[in-house]
Amino acid sequence: MTAPARIQTTVVGSYPIPDWLAALPSEQALLDATRVVVHTQERAGIDLVCDGELYRFDVNHPETNGMIEYFVRPLDGVRTGIHFSEIVDYRKRAATRFRSRPPGAVTGPIGAGTLDLPAACARAKALASRPFKFTLTGPHMLAKMLLDKHYGDVSKLAMAIADVLAEQVSHCDAEVIQIDEANLPGAPSEWRWAAEAINRVLKAVKTVPAVHLCFGNYGGQTIQKGTWNALIDYLNALHVDHIVMENAHRPAEELAAFRDLRPEIGMGLGVVDIKRTDVESADAIAKAIERADTVLGRGRVRYIHPDCGFWMLKRPIADAKIRALVQGRDLYEGRPKIVAA
């Protein structure tokens, strides 16, 4: 029997939505599509699989991936009908320039409302035969995207959202619970209150907590400007087992910043560029791991994965990229090739 790999493979979260689901959405089609996405990852040899974040799929709005709306619209205290004057004000905000309108307006105290992440987690996990990862958007990004007309302080809004998410994840059963923060890399000065908010959620995770950060991906474009060096204090403040980072699309010299990461925190290394359509070779993946082992020290890299989610790529490209991910890890570790059944 082959020994477990030293470096585990995983995906970040989202996966391309099957065309047939978008064309004819239904609850049964959604369940079938989730089964396809999970099985595709398992056949490729991914160690820690995800549902492609299809649990967020809205049959009434198949064009979105639900990264924000899925979480905020069910909440108490959030109004989804947005007035024109509010839209005009919102479009002036630099932090939300990639959105044309807010997902909601906060008009009262935040409460859980009808949000039910444990049910979504259980439904997806039931389809997996390998260790399963459940992902959710973090309180910093959710607070920054909303139009706040109640708290008057974005950090206070983030804490209120964090309390709701903490209660939700405390009831989620997945091998790994990953919280995603894609806005903070462009606002590193906010790291202290962002860390306090996300730690409220991380401390509630009963299994393995993880955090993903990236510089955004809308239509293959980087959204946030900044560097990883500016966020090392934030990363070291996290109550987390491992981090899941964007590295493949970043300048090579930035990798050295992670030398200052607390040794107890496992490094998740992005080795697949999701902003490019060409498929990495197994050799290129292996060389990326080798370079990280050289720069950070052997044993620091615990996971390899894509830089971010795949939802903007076509399925054949995403499928090929995750196969290359596993093949590159196996090549680097000298593991035997696995032929998919």
Domain 8-333 is found in CATH 3.90.1150.30? no
Listed in sequence order, the DSSP H helices in 212-281 are: 232-236
In the chain, what are the domain boundaries?
Answer: 8-333
Listed in sequence order, the DSSP H helices in the chain are: 19-23, 27-44, 69-72, 84-90, 117-125, 139-145, 154-169, 191-202, 232-236, 282-296, 315-333
| pTM, to two decimals | 0.93
**Largest Cα–Cα distance in the chain?**
64
Q: What is the pLDDT of residues 251-310, one digit of tens each?
A: 999 999 999 999 999 999 999 999 899 999 999 999 999 999 999 999 999 999 999 999
Q: What is the pLDDT of residues 89-130, one digit of tens each?
A: 888 876 666 677 889 999 999 999 999 999 999 999 999 999
Instruction: Read off the amino acid at residue 129.
Output: S
Residue 6 has pLDDT above 70, yes or no: yes
